[in-house]
Amino acid sequence: MSTSETLAPVAASPWRRMRLWATAHAVDDFYQGIVPAAVPYFVLQRDVGYVGASGLALAATLGSALPQIAVGLLADRRRLPWMSPLGLALAGIGAGVAGLVPSYPLMFLSLLVSGLGVAMFHPPAGRDARIAAGGSATAMSYFAAGGSVGFFVAPALATPALDAFGVGATALFIPPAVLMAFVLLRHQRRTLPHAATAAVRTGVDRPRLFATLTAVEVVRSTVAFGVNTFIALYWIRDLGATPALGGTALTL
């Protein structure tokens, strides 16, 4: 028997397996991070008050949080390869349109749609990313890190555009979402036969631990998103900083 016949095939590296999913996660969560960066410009340029600003943040948060349970249940029962690409596209389109519409209700609705897109992306993307990871914790760490990077860089990328062109510059960030959604949809269609035959792993439900982790995450997210929403406004209105410097504070 030759050496080539006895050697097992070399598996792709964790990064090669996850680079598409990590990038898609970064693009998707970018549109969560762009909301706190855009809020000061809604206040300064569209005469939205602090209560209205909190409402815009609420729209994005509720849209991304509450529907995820229903989306997760649906993703457990059906493959739906189009759901995560569609969610990614909606996340970008909703956030981008929010800076163009003339009225507060339409701003609220746009950010609600953006949040819904985020909710549509995460459960099926997480499921398919785990399949691609093949049980590798290292591979899944790339997927998780992608989301954090997207959220982190959003203020750094959005603030200069918003400062230069006004709140309507949110529309400049629609194309990345549409392009990434197209790439992801093509990938999903190519991998559909393999994913359909992948083994389904089962586990043991631990409802008390799950409830504890959920409560911790709710508190963490509430505090973090609340601070992120208003820290730039605090720097601008109370400390006399420029909007660009306020966006820098948000990034840091």
**Per-residue model confidence as pLDDT tens digits over 143-157:** 999 999 999 899 999
pLDDT of amino acid 227? 75
CB atoms within 10 A of CB 239: 10
pTM: 0.84
What is the rounded distance in angstroms from the CA atom of residue 163 to the CA atom of residue 169?
9
Q: Which residues are CB-neighbours of 225 under 8 A, at least 6 positions away?
A: 36, 57, 61
pLDDT of 10 strictly over 50 = no
Note the pLDDT tens digit of each residue in 88-138: 999 999 999 999 999 999 999 999 999 999 999 999 999 999 998 888 899
Closest listed residue to residue 171, CA positions, set 117, 92, 248:
92
Note the pLDDT tens digit of each residue in 194-245: 554 444 555 677 778 877 877 787 677 767 777 777 888 888 887 888 877 8
CATH architecture of structural domain 13-192: Up-down Bundle (1.20)
N-to-C CA span, the chain: 59
C-alpha torsion 76→79→81→86, nearest 10: -40
| Cα–Cα distance list, 70 to 56, 61, 217, 221, 222 (Å) | 23, 16, 18, 20, 21
Assigned token pair, 245: 């410097």
